[in-house]
Structure 1
Amino acid sequence: MTETETRGGWLSREELRDARERLPIVYVEAVPVRVDDRGVVTQIGLLLRASAEGTVDRELVSGRVLYHERIRDALLRHIESDLGPLAMPRIPVSPQPFTIAEYFPTPGVTPFHDPRQHAVALAFVVPVLGDCSPQQDALDLAWLTPDEAAALAAVGDMSGGHGVLLRQALAHVGHPV
């Protein structure tokens, strides 16, 4: 009987490239929100990032789930990585996604496109209470009202289908789109 491989969750660039060519990769995506005392969404946080193609787009918090990592832990890690260690996200004990997005390397299969890979992303609305600031490769973090976010999502200025996810998140929290 062979032992199960349990080494770290990081793949080398070559291993990740090979995996992306052979199987779907699991991601989490988070729509960070501010809520009032009644739990009504008052603001939505969107990151500004430069892409490899040279465009600058608004995006959601997003990233891979590592081997042997719980979904909750992946959400916390990516929110801290993108919004900073003082974001104070409020993730339920048993998080439930508002949708599942399937990204394909072939455009048009779904509204979600990632030229690198086939990916399955669990998408969550996550209230944050603390101070947030753009981290890593994010150029800016903007807090928009739900109406402003809906207008941005409608014009299609978000890459890879993030506008579709934003519209779905707004509908999930009861905001008309």
Structure 2
Amino acid sequence: MTFLPADTYRLIEESMPIACVDFVLVRQRNGHRELGLILRDSPHGRVWCHLGGRIQRGETIAGAIRRHSRETIGIGPTLPLNPQPDYVYEWFPPDLMPTDGTVSGDDPRKHAIGLSFVVAAEGSPRPRNEGLDFAYFAPSELPANLWPGCRELFALLKLAPLPD
């Protein structure tokens, strides 16, 4: 895989959408679904969000999900050979936010195309690197400090109710 110097990557982020994986860990607890989220520092302050990040050149989608999971919570989920997204969601910086009614998330750093997955949780997640904390939440009890756009993504993935 290729790693780019920070200034080169910044130029790319400012010039074109970045392909990313977004994934929400889910588990069943007492007959109810729970969503596993990480707490992280972000341009929006300290917020809870799903896991994910960019796909590197030469990396498969499954490989990107496993890498981001291992790096952030120390476990790698079992995935099919060619996983297909449950939804394709876009993230925009505020100055590029669509005005046509497109439902999207807010990412001041870049325009990203998120291949979004629901992944069964396996093992004992422990936060590391960007993950400051990890916790499971009932869909009706999501924290108030979610990364802007996560609540809408969870609703589109049919994991949580639509926001008011």
State the TM-score, normalized to the length of structure 1: 0.78
Q: Larger Rg: 1 or 2? A: 1
Question: Of Structure 1 and Structure 2, which has the larger fraction of its residues in strand?
Answer: 2
Structure 1 match to 2:19: 26
CA RMSD of aligned residues (A): 2.3
Q: Please point out which of 106, 109, 117 is paired with 1:124.
A: 117
Q: Classify the secondary structure of the residue corresponding to 1:160.
A: coil
Paired residue for 2:154?
166
Alignment pair present for 1:96 and 2:84: yes
TM-score, normalising length from structure 2? 0.84
Question: Structure 1: where are the runs of 5+ without partners?
Answer: 1-7
Which one-letter code corresponds to 1:126 in the other structure?
V
1:158 is displaced (CA, Å) by 1.6
Give distance in 1, aligned partners of 2:134 and 2:20. Answer: 21
In 2, distance between residues paired with 1:158 and 1:25?
Answer: 22
CA distance in 1, matches of 2:36, 2:77: 12
- Name the residue aligned to 1:113: 106
Q: Work out whether 1:80 is the aligned partner of 2:73.
A: no
Higher helix share: 1
Gaps of 5+ in 2: none
- State the identity as a percent: 32
Once residues 16 and 41 of structure 1 are traced to their aligned partners in structure 2, the CA distance between those partners, rounded to angstroms, is 41
2:29 is the alignment partner of 1:45: no
* Counterpart amino acid of residue 74 in structure 1: A
Size of the alignment, in residue pairs?
Answer: 157
> In structure 2, the residue corresponding to 1:9 is in which secondary structure?
coil
Q: In the alignment, is residue 15 of structure 1 matched against residue 15 of structure 2?
A: no
